[in-house]
């Protein structure tokens, strides 16, 4: 196998075109083999294999810099840059990340897990290289068509294209949105020839000739001549208006064609945008037929394309989706908004029932929040469903446009807490902190799937102002989900167990492990009360005062301990000179890649970790 001989891009450059095509097939088989066991982002990476090989073949990486957007499409990149064997532990605890990581390789120049950052980062790298005199180094940003729905990508295009001599290449990997029409071989031929040495030489000769003649605006005139030549065959492009020379579309699965275009682009010293057409899931029929289903997957059977099934309780996502649909059937003002994650948030089901009340704004979280604000002003009841980690991108809008105006918008934060294999870029461990500090927000966390249903129902009954409900990825704890709705008063906690040695204030995922820990400690003579602290804001003043006399309180939360529930309770008791507050959460760090159970064990939030932390405190003090 050719793949066995590839340890770096330098090995790649020794191959001929036929060998590169063979290698592409081998890499696809290897990606499918590994991802079928580990899970991962299959379809995007299968579609970018030839693109990856051509980039590393033409450009002198790692000296030349490739900035990948997100990393969904970068599995082939990982495999050929020295991580071929490590790839077998993709997204596993102690293994390699499913995204780009500067800690893994010098080829991962810019770490990324959130989309649309590549052009800005590449431009920053370009500016730094220019200032250090390294002008011969090429800088390439690879961005998917979906990522261009984010405003930051256009901000970067606008900035990067402002100077004609800014040497930056943007590769637009178009795998489905068809930003501009595929005009076939003619456009492909034109793009190759327009960047060839002859055309480049002719362009420079004409520009210099006009300058010598003293023709005003010679550079602009040359550009207009060039644009006119291209418009004869190819439609004008949005990107030209940003100051980029647009090339494409190019067939992203023809290595020879990609290599020729990239070689010609390499000699340019101006902003270029190369539009490459690829097919998500290329080379694996099930993924080609259903690329959305195979975008991010768990383990599956390669021969059938069927996913591994196990009997589990309903997921929090499905409970949210089903509850929202039920509520919307009796209230026509309820609308649902998401940012390019209809399936991930469960709103695809809402869309099927209420297509005219569903809004997918693309990868544009800021816009999603502002859209909801406008709707709320005119009496609609928007529910914005976004992953916890992605809502961070709209922090200013949460403060300035939602809370400051006291608008009644409900935020459903999926994938809160430890999310598992997607790793540090996707763990939702900051939302309790960044939402708690915003005046007027109500922040709730269900202990189980039935409480999620009731909190969502109740949120519509509470007073005006913004509300957020955060819940974890994956299956619930297995409680019975009742048909009837129960109103949970805003800010009211729930006492689950009484005790006199201390109290555990637990929220969300931490509630049931804390109950089991309390039972275990009771057998050892330590009697702890357990409270379901299901509201982070407002706090339950009555219950907090009820335990003011105890020597110690423990706070269990799946959030960074800085600014979370533990911080809130510490502040409360500090004012009253109350008990010692011992915080059990994520210790101000970015937790690693791994399954939810592995990572929870690593940070001490599994049942054993909670038990040991509480037991150790009693062992080394006189509290017991």
Best CA proximity match to 112, nearest among 560, 423, 559, 428: 423
- 494-497 and 528-532 strand pairing: antiparallel
- 272-277 and 502-506 strand pairing: unpaired
Among 50, 260, 365, 421, the one annotated catalytic? 365
Dihedral through CA 245, CA 249, CA 253, CA 257, nearest 10? -60
- Do 67 and 142 form a contact (C-beta atoms < 8 A)? yes
Q: Does residue 280 carry a catalytic annotation?
A: yes
For the four alpha carbons of 326, 327, 330 and 335, in that order, the dihedral sign comes to negative
Q: Does residue 226 carry a catalytic annotation?
A: no
Among 91, 166, 280, 470, the one annotated catalytic? 280
Q: How far, in Å, CA of 498 to CA of 523, rounded?
A: 14
Q: Residue 312 burial (CB < 10 Å; 0-12/13-18/19+)?
A: exposed
168 CB contacts (<8 Å, ≥6 apart)?
122, 123, 126, 139, 140, 141, 160, 271, 272
Q: Does residue 620 carry a catalytic annotation?
A: no
Helix, strand or coil for residue 26?
A: helix
Annotate 316-361 with three-state secondary structure: HHHHHHHHHHHHHHCCCCEEEEECCCHHHHCHHHHHHHCHHHEEEC
CA angle 546-549-550, nearest 5°?
A: 100
CA angle 40-44-48, nearest 5°?
A: 125
Which ranges constitute the DSSP H helices of 460-491?
A: none
Among 138, 166, 223, 393, the one annotated catalytic? 393
Q: How far, in Å, CA of 317 to CA of 337, rounded?
A: 15
DSSP string, 539-563: --HHHHHHTTTSSEEEEEEEEESSS
User: Active-site residues: which are they?
Assistant: 280, 365, 393
């Amino acid at each position: 196998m050719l793949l066995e001989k590839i340890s770096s891009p330098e090995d790649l450059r020794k191959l001929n075109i036929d060998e590169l095509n063979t290698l592409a097939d081998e890499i696809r088989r290897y990606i499918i083999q590994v991802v079928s066991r580990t899970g991962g982002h299959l379809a995007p990476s299968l579609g970018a294999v030839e693109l990856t090989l051509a980039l590393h073949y033409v450009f002198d990486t790692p000296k030349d810099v490739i900035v990948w957007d997100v990393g969904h499409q970068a599995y082939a990149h990982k495999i050929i840059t020295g991580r071929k064997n490590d790839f077998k532990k993709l997204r596993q605890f102690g293994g390699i990340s499913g995204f780009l990581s500067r800690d893994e390789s010098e080829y991962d120049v810019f770490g990324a897990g959130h989309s649309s950052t590549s052009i800005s980062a590449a431009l920053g790298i370009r500016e730094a290289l220019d200032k250090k005199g390294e002008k011969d180094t090429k800088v390439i940003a690879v961005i998917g068509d979906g990522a261009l729905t984010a405003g930051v990508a256009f901000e970067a295009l606008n900035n990067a294209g402002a100077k004609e001599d800014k040497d930056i290449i943007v590769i637009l990997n178009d795998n489905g949105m068809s930003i501009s029409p595929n005009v076939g071989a003619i456009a492909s031929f034109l793009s190759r020839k327009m960047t060839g040495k002859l055309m480049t030489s002719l362009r420079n000769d004409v520009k210099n000739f006009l300058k010598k003649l003293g023709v005003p605006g010679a550079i602009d005139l040359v550009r207009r001549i060039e644009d006119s030549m291209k418009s004869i065959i190819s439609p004008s492009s949005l990107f030209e208006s940003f100051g980029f020379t647009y090339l494409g579309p190019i067939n992203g699965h023809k290595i020879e064609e990609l290599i020729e275009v990239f070689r010609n682009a390499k000699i340019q010293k101006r902003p270029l945008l190369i539009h490459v057409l690829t097919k998500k899931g290329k080379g694996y029929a099930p993924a080609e037929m259903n690329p959305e289903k195979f975008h991010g997957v768990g383990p599956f059977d390669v021969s059938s394309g069927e996913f591994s099934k196990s009997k589990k309780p309903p997921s929090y996502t499905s409970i949210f989706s089903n509850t929202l649909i039920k509520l919307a059937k009796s209230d026509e003002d309820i609308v649902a908004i998401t940012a390019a994650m209809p399936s991930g948030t469960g709103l695809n089901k809402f869309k099927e029932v209420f297509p005219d009340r569903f809004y997918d704004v693309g990868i544009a979280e800021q816009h999603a929040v502002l859209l909801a604000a406008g709707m709320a002003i005119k009496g609609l009841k928007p529910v914005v469903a976004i992953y916890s980690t992605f809502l961070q991108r709209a922090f200013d809008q949460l403060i300035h446009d939602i809370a400051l105006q006291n608008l009644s918008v409900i935020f459903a934060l999926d994938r809160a807490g430890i999310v598992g294999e997607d790793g540090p870029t996707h763990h939702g461990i900051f939302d309790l902190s960044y939402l708690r500090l915003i005046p007027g927000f109500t922040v709730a966390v269900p202990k189980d799937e039935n409480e999620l249903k009731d909190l969502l129902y109740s949120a519509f009954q509470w007073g005006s102002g913004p509300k957020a409900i955060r819940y974890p990825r994956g299956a619930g704890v297995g409680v019975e989900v009742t048909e009837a709705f129960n109103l949970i008063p805003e800010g009211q906690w729930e006492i689950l167990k009484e005790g006199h040695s201390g109290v555990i204030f637990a929220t969300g995922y931490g509630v049931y492990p804390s109950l089991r820990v309390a039972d275990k400690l009771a057998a050892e003579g330590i009697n702890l009360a357990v409270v379901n602290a299901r509201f982070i804001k407002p706090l339950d003043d009555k219950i907090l005062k009820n335990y003011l006399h105890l020597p110690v309180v423990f706070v269990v939360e799946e959030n960074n301990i800085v600014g979370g529930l533990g911080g809130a309770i510490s502040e409360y008791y500090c004012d009253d000179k109350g008990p010692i507050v011992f915080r059990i959460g994520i210790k101000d760090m970015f937790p690693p890649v791994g399954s939810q159970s592995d990572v929870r064990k690593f940070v001490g939030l599994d049942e054993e970790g909670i038990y040991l932390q509480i037991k150790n405190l009693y062992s080394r003090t006189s509290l017991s």
